[in-house]
A and B are shown apart, each in its own frame.
Chain A
Amino acid sequence: MNAVWSYLVAIAVWPGLLFAAPLGWLELWFMRKLVARLQGRQGPPFFQPFFDVMKLLGKETVIPRGVSRGIFLALPLVSVAAVTAALAIVPLPGNPVPSLPGDVVLLLYLMEVPVLCEVLAGYVSRSIYGQVAAMREAILSLAYNLPFLVAIIAMAQMAGSFQMRALQEVPYGLVHLLAAVTFLLALPARMKLNPFSIANAEHEIIADSHIEYSGPPLALFKLSHAIEVVLLTELFAVVFIPATPWPLVNLVVYLVAGILVLGGVTLLATTTARLRLTQAFRFYWVWGGLASAITMAATLVR
């Protein structure tokens, strides 16, 4: 199989769209069901996220007056493409893409693209609520990216290389634990869950920055979010869970670890209330900064 084909397979089939979309829907359903059960409700049926996306695909798109049509429609596409490409880089067992030197940098960059798309979507929509959401998202990303990036960079420092496969092969140690905690600190904000659901605070600013989106573009944003959830959980599993020599066992372990992490952040989300932007920012720069400093110090000590 030559390189082009392996990239195409990785992006379209495994671990890309064809696999990630159903898994993302499963994980979203799991989160919604868990929230409902914790609140004493029955919760949505199993296929709910799938129905939501299919229904949106069958709806009309309303483009607000005065909005540039091209960028309005391009943003969701770019967002989905970026997360799918990012997922294709993650060395899940059986991923056909060859490991490149420096693919960690590419991965981190691609993971920022959906955030950028959300911010732009808010500003492009010309809705005042969308703009507030975009501003909140942009500021929050300055906060949660500190622990998030440090967790990955600390692992790269341990491996002595910015290559995903090398990150996986770092002998297990204290830095793994510290970096995992730092990563988990950033996770709720990255997933826009309580107490950091500031950019999508539906009680304050009606909706997130997709407020003016409808129909298929909104469906693409939902799909992008679903894949992003898969990406974040699987990235956590691949980097911080020790790998066994058997690929199939690894796969099962990664999927289970992803579900467990999701269960944890959902539990946190249901038991907390939303913070203010300043509080969240301070939290990440004080406690996230402290965790980052300790993690980096541990990589130097060895």
Chain B
Amino acid sequence: MNLIERVIAISRRRSPWICRLNAGSCNGCDIEITPLLSPRYDAEQLGIELHGTPKHADIVLISGTLTLRSREAILDIYAQVPNPKAVVALGSCPSSGNVFAGSPLVLSCSLDTVVPVDVWVPGCPPRPQAILDGIARAAKLLEDGATKSQLAKSRLARSQPESRCGRLS
């Protein structure tokens, strides 16, 4: 790894820009992101910036239950994030559907079957410290080139699982 690549790798850890994606959340998880920008948690110390557009993001925070309608939106927005990128799943909803599992319009399956998730932040909702920790971990993965999308690109990982979670019968 030459010097410039090293500097860029360090910059990926020191400047993670995040973008929120609400996939059908009850808004609890999203509310817990806002304190990160407040004086108490001050995410800017880690170089974290909240951006509205996926084009500027490095890390996508996906919160909420996956619904039939949000699946396409997740795939679309994930595809718009320029590489290298990481995904952080916020709360219990993306992993299991949480209390909404089994509802008619909810995909009762894990977010991992839609897009590759790098860090899971459990909780309902997770505490802001936990979200901050999740972002920091994802940023470290970006530095090491170890996020799932980066690994898939460098062909170190086995082929990605296909998005096999479709409509529930």
Contacts and interface: CB of A to CB of B under 8 A. Distances in A.
17 contacts: A36-B42, A42-B42, A43-B42, A43-B44, A45-B47, A47-B14, A48-B15, A51-B10, A51-B47, A52-B11, A55-B14, A57-B8, A58-B12, A61-B82, A62-B80, A62-B82, A212-B55
A212 B11 CA distance: 22
B53 interface: yes
B98 to A, nearest CB: 29
Nearest to B50: A202
Interface of A: 32, 36, 39-45, 47-48, 50-52, 54-55, 57-62, 129, 202, 206-207, 211-215, 218
Contacts of B47: 44-45, 48, 51-52
Contacts of A60: 82-84
Interface string B4-30: 010111111011000000000000000
Of B9, B52, B80, which is in contact with the most chain A CB atoms at under 10 Å from its CB?
B52
Contacts, number: 83
Contact of B45 (A43, A52, A54, A61): A43
Contacts of B15: 48, 51-52, 54-55
Contacts of B82: 59-62, 214-215
B44 A36 contact: yes
Given A58-B11, A61-B82, A40 B52 contact: no
A9 B18 CA distance: 39
A54 B51 CA distance: 18
B56 interface: yes
Of B12, B15, B38, B52, which is in contact with the most chain A CB atoms at under 10 Å from its CB?
B15
Contacts of A61: 82
Nearest to B43: A41
Given A214-B55, A214-B56, A215-B82, 4 more contacts: A42-B44, A45-B45, A55-B15, A57-B8
A207 B50 CA distance: 11
Contacts of A62: 55, 80, 82
Interface string B71-103: 000000000101110000000000000000000
